[in-house]
Amino acid sequence: MNPPRTSPPSFDLADSPDVLARFHQEIDLVDINARQVARRIAAHTVTLDDLRSFGHEGLLYAARSFEESHHVPFRRWANLRIRGAMIDGVRKWGNLPRRIYRELRAMAAADALQGVYDEEYAPVPSPTAEQADERIATTLTSLATALAVGSAAGAIRDGEGASDSGASPEEMVANAELVARVRGIMARMPDVERALIERHYFGDETLDQAAGALGLSKSWGSRLHARAIETIARAMREEL
């Protein structure tokens, strides 16, 4: 059974003018993210209006929880919370193909990476243009790696073939090759990082669940995840 459509966000009488201003200032992010998520999951049962509704709730939460001490621009802070709300909302949907849940998990992993980079980079400005470029390159390659590994590992884990995943035989071969490369890199990683990647990408656990099972806090698990993905991305570049 599909969850009921959520209603537009209801503002609380306690919401300050600053909260309302932040909400309306970045309202365009809801539609931008809704279209991006819709393209990635291609789920006909989940409409753009559904995604926008989830996104409005995420934006309202972001507007209420934001603090200047985060050292992150509100637009960037809100963007992750909007997409996170959309991912959580779609996850609650019933009878969706496994492919969609794989894509949602991959997006969630990429968002977790972005959150770590926001926390680490925002408070400390890059002293040189070269270092700023290096930060951008690290962020982009890590995000792309998390999405690619999440999608490929999920397809292999679920054992889906071209007939039920929508993937061509060539795409399935590419997935298998990518997974083999990642596993080779993982074999050289520290035990905890390897276990975290194994449980999250090749098992059936969220990042928070995998971190908890390994006795890691949510924050430290996110940082180890970022470090492990950076290791994989760097090793894959060196193999080219």
User: What is the predicted pLDDT for the residue at 181?
Assistant: 93
Residues 113, 69 share a domain: no
Stated length of the chain: 240
Residues 73, 60 share a domain: yes
Yes or no: say if 9 and 60 are a contact pair by the CB < 8 Å rule. Answer: yes
User: What is the predicted pLDDT for the residue at 116?
Assistant: 87
User: What is the predicted pLDDT for the residue at 91?
Assistant: 86
Within 8 A by CB and 6+ apart from 89, the residues are 3, 6, 50, 51, 53, 54, 57
Helices (H), 92-206: 98-121, 129-158, 162-165, 169-186, 191-197
Residues 118, 55 share a domain: no
**Pairwise CA distance, residues 81 & 27, whole Å:** 13
Among the listed residues 233, 167, 224, 162, the one whose alpha carbon sits nearest the alpha carbon of residue 199: 224
Residues 111, 82 share a domain: no
Burial of 233 (0-12, 13-18, 19+ CB in 10 A): buried
Is 235 contained in some domain? yes
CATH number at residue 217: 1.20.140
Is 4 contained in some domain? no
Among the listed residues 137, 133, 183, the one whose alpha carbon sits nearest the alpha carbon of residue 157: 183
Residues 104, 192 share a domain: yes
Pull the structure tokens for residue 109: 């992993």
In the chain, how many domains are there?
2
Residues 236, 121 share a domain: yes
Yes or no: say if 74 and 18 are a contact pair by the CB < 8 Å rule. Answer: no
Amino acid letter, residue 87? I
Residues 139, 32 share a domain: no
Instruction: State which of 69, 96, 123 marks the end of a domain.
Output: 96
Residue range of the domain that includes 180: 98-240
Is 227 contained in some domain? yes
Yes or no: say if 59 and 27 are a contact pair by the CB < 8 Å rule. Answer: yes
Mean pLDDT by 10 residues, the chain (240 residues): 54 81 94 92 86 95 85 86 92 82 84 84 69 79 88 75 56 87 94 95 88 93 93 86
Is 152 contained in some domain? yes
Instruction: State which of 75, 96, 117 marks the end of a domain.
Output: 96
Report pTM: 0.73
Yes or no: say if 90 and 41 are a contact pair by the CB < 8 Å rule. Answer: yes
**Pairwise CA distance, residues 110 & 147, whole Å:** 6
Residues 103, 92 share a domain: no
User: What is the predicted pLDDT for the residue at 163?
Assistant: 43
Is 8 contained in some domain? no
User: What is the predicted pLDDT for the residue at 11?
Assistant: 66
Residues 238, 131 share a domain: yes
Residues 232, 115 share a domain: yes
Yes or no: say if 90 and 96 are a contact pair by the CB < 8 Å rule. Answer: yes
**Pairwise CA distance, residues 92 & 6, whole Å:** 12
Is 198 contained in some domain? yes
Instruction: State which of 96, 119, 147 marks the end of a domain.
Output: 96
Residues 45, 87 share a domain: yes
**Pairwise CA distance, residues 28 & 30, whole Å:** 5
**Pairwise CA distance, residues 161 & 120, whole Å:** 40
Is 156 contained in some domain? yes
Residues 145, 225 share a domain: yes
